[in-house]
Structure 1
């Protein structure tokens, strides 16, 4: 075993990042995209923390530890697609660790036979109207400290503007216009998506305005609107997920996937219920097609109207 491979015992997070950067690749041997690498690192870190809580390690976990990963409230809300992505990640990781001499077996290999990609797209996750209302009210509560103010602003941005995690991560302080009439957020062009302006929902204004004012007074490097560190590094998907999860747990919304995507879907559904056209809502979301709105619209049938 090389010194590089021994890092899996002393600092598995760093070892995983190094492996991703140097060797990890898709099934066709093409390197993963930068976005996929970020997502994989967040997933790995989530699983590593689960193992730490169970008193085991990357080098020694077994199938029982993976089974336990699905049992907490967060795990029980994972879609079939999310579970499959985790199993494929663990299988890819364990095959490498066996080759490197860090592990003797690959417990994820047997799990691949039990998990499969869904035959059709799952019903999108969203908050019910009652849960949406409770969350809006929660975001108006006085924050107890700086961290809770930041968390309120982050959740308010997802729920009140429908932006993606990547868009929230890239937002600058100047992109938020809290004192305009009406207040709005500028989402800069990225990838295939054009720049767009989103008027913020009224319930999101107080938290975002308060954070904007507080952020301007903080000794943080750079211009990013949402950051957790003094050096101004972007927030990771894992941190966004933790913030959303803690907030949804606080209002008792534990039956959905606790992610920014759920809040984005809730934003979409709220506007469709209010009578906005699919074209209009798709533009709000920065989408070139109505595919997402079509999937959300399917939840507006009579069977879903109470939700």
Structure 2
């Protein structure tokens, strides 16, 4: 079976083979294994979109890219570069499909011409060392805490201590969280392009989690933070955002973004300040690309120059 036939018959296998044997970025350097995993997840999403439209890699056109990129933008937070990454990936893919004879032209070319990395990308928001310490103090349980405050401290403790995304925290189950013994940790399952990982829990984060576990005892398979008055539905994003904002308000932190992302950035910056590399920190965040961590490291460099 020649390569063009493989792309038609087994597109997933063809893409993986191309990524691991030939594909390269704009600098002509081969992609790392972590990047390949991310690219494969992105390709799979694109291919699913084509299949729902009744077209193939050989027959899709600009109108299908329009609908795909619209879908990507509708599902992503404002200000992210997700659409741009997809444009770059699909442009590389289409150029390769032309090279192997599967396509006569590249329908992504016009999208790629107008695509560029933003020059005014906002600086990541994070807590400085003093605010980080203040929030670590805030999450310590108090004998007078009611159930709501006990839960809220535990939510913030897990976000700040492990660098989870909001979606990862919402899906966390007690079997994933170890708060006793010599190695407290949280295991995060693979989710989309984010890799499976295990993150050590710092000492400041475990008392709040232990207090919440005592107050809300649950089986191992239960959600750590179920929605109020339920056991099987995760806490929703609106309530989660409010919990984080209240905590940040309490320590006097104010910024345009008061979401769980600030705590994730703070976690990442703490790892970099402790001497971890971009690769190590990205792995702790479950990220294939180092782009986010590099931007956070730049905030450290800016303060020392």
What is the deviation of 1:245?
A: 0.2
Change (3 A) 1:217 1:233: closer
What is the deviation of 1:235?
A: 1.6
Task: Classify the secondary structure of the residue corresponding to 1:252.
Answer: coil
> Does residue 130 of structure 1 match 2:126?
no
Q: Is the 8 A contact 2:141 2:207 kept in 1?
A: no
The residue number in structure 2 matching 1:289 is 289
> Does residue 207 of structure 1 match 2:208?
yes
What is the deviation of 1:135?
A: 0.5
**TM-score of the superposition, structure 1-length normalised?**
0.60
1:76-117, Cα deviation, whole Å (9 max, x unpaired): xxxx839xxxxxxxxxxxxxxxxxxxxxxxxxxxxxxxxxx9
Change (3 A) 1:36 1:166: farther
The residue number in structure 1 matching 2:274 is 274
Q: Is the 8 A contact 2:164 2:264 kept in 1?
A: yes
1:199-239, Cα deviation, whole Å (9 max, x unpaired): 00111010112112322159xxx711112223231122211
Change (3 A) 1:224 1:29: same
- Point out where structure 1 has 5 or more consecutive residues left out of the alignment: 1-25, 41-79, 83-116
Paired positions, count:
202
1:132-171, Cα deviation, whole Å (9 max, x unpaired): 0110111114152001111111111110000101110111
In 2, the alpha carbon distance for the partners of 1:27 and 1:253 equals: 41
The residue number in structure 2 matching 1:147 is 148
Q: Is the 8 A contact 1:160 1:204 kept in 2?
A: yes
Structure 1 segments, 4+ long, off by >6 Å, are: none
**TM-score of the superposition, structure 2-length normalised?**
0.60
Q: Is the 8 A contact 1:162 1:268 kept in 2?
A: yes
Q: Is the 8 A contact 2:141 2:153 kept in 1?
A: no
In 2, the alpha carbon distance for the partners of 1:194 and 1:217 equals: 27
Change (3 A) 1:161 1:228: same
What is the deviation of 1:283?
A: 0.8
The residue number in structure 2 matching 1:159 is 160
